[in-house]
Amino acid sequence: MRQRPIVVVSTNPAVDVEWRVESLQPEEKNEVRSESRWPGGKGINVARWLVRLGAQVELILPLGGTTGEEIVRGLRSEAIPYRAVAIGKPTRANVVVTTDSGVQYRLNPTWPVLDRDEVKQLDQRVRESLAGASMIVISGALVRGAPIGLYAGWVKAAGALGIPVFLDCDGAAFRKAVPARPFLVKPNLHELEQWAGRSLKDHGEREAALRQLTAATRGWVVLSCGEEGAWMLGNPSDALVQVPAKTVRVRNTVGAGDAMLAGIVRSFSRNKLPSEWLRAGIQAAALSIGRAPG
């Protein structure tokens, strides 16, 4: 019997491009020594790591133009199952410039903008997939042209079917989706500050904001803190779980948080205890950081 897949929704995918340079100097010609290209964006990164961790996945995403065709070729080469919604405008390409010293500069376009019919098709595709899903991961910024409440609507629809929702987004879409009560949310510090509406200067302020967010979702909250590791809370009255980051040779930091979310989701899907979810996420993030991009 085929296992019910983990549905991953990526409304704002991209071709990720890495240029490697000796250094980056203003107003000078900066020689690009090498270029790498692969399917990217937060949702694709999550789907990629779920596949690597042995999960059954169905990725849903809008794609258009030659960059969309490039993503399709990449997904097929990585054996990542997907269902695409065709759009008229080309999918974006994100550029990471990596210097010999390891410093990275990230340039992310905000386009494309979906029209009303394209948003409707995407919404229908996601809602249709819920009938056969074991859980759903909504990852990445909300694509332009979509209503702010699109993610919230998917969270509610999944909740009505008893399907856990793992949410990783930011800004107004995140704020709108929180009252819909996703099962788990994974902000980073900047995103948590956005939601809280204030700067969180120390551990005490971060913990207070996490407890407020947990009370609002009535679910789990994971705060990814980069080199500090991550924090997890499942109830406002529970003890805060903190797991330090693993020490690894850093080869690439893009997508580490997405690998963490994939590790958490995969651990949950295997009926592991909550105490094991975050450790699995930290392990996946460390594997991501230690790998070449893509």
SS3 of 55, please?
A: coil
Tell me what pLDDT residue 294 has: 64
* Residue 226 pLDDT grade (very low, low, confident, very high; cuts 50, 70, 90): confident
Tell me what pLDDT residue 1 has: 47
Asked if residue 262 belongs to a domain, the reply is yes
Can you tell me the mean pLDDT for 223-237?
91
DSSP single-letter state for residue 85: E
| Stated pTM of the model | 0.94
Tell me what pLDDT residue 2 has: 62
State the total domains in the chain: 1
The model's pLDDT over 136-156, given as tens digits with 9 standing for 90+, comes to: 999 999 999 999 999 999 999
Whether residue 41 has pLDDT greater than 80: yes
CATH code assigned at 232: 3.40.1190.20
Tell me what pLDDT residue 289 has: 84
Asked if residue 157 belongs to a domain, the reply is yes
Closest to 277 measured CA to CA, from 289, 288, 255, 261: 261
Tell me what pLDDT residue 81 has: 98
Can you tell me the mean pLDDT for 171-181?
98
Give the whole-angstrom CA distance, residue 81 versus residue 76. 8
Whether residue 202 has pLDDT greater than 50: yes
Range with lowest mean pLDDT among 6-10, 32-36, 286-290: 286-290
Range of the domain at 183: 6-10+38-86+115-289
Asked if residue 294 belongs to a domain, the reply is no
More confident residue, 49 or 250: 49
Whether residue 227 has pLDDT greater than 90: no
Asked if residue 20 belongs to a domain, the reply is no
Mean pLDDT over all residues of the chain? 94
Asked if residue 265 belongs to a domain, the reply is yes
Asked if residue 256 belongs to a domain, the reply is yes
* Residue 293 pLDDT grade (very low, low, confident, very high; cuts 50, 70, 90): low
More confident residue, 291 or 286: 286
Asked if residue 258 belongs to a domain, the reply is yes
Tell me what pLDDT residue 3 has: 83
Asked if residue 107 belongs to a domain, the reply is no
CA 65 centroid distance within chain: 23
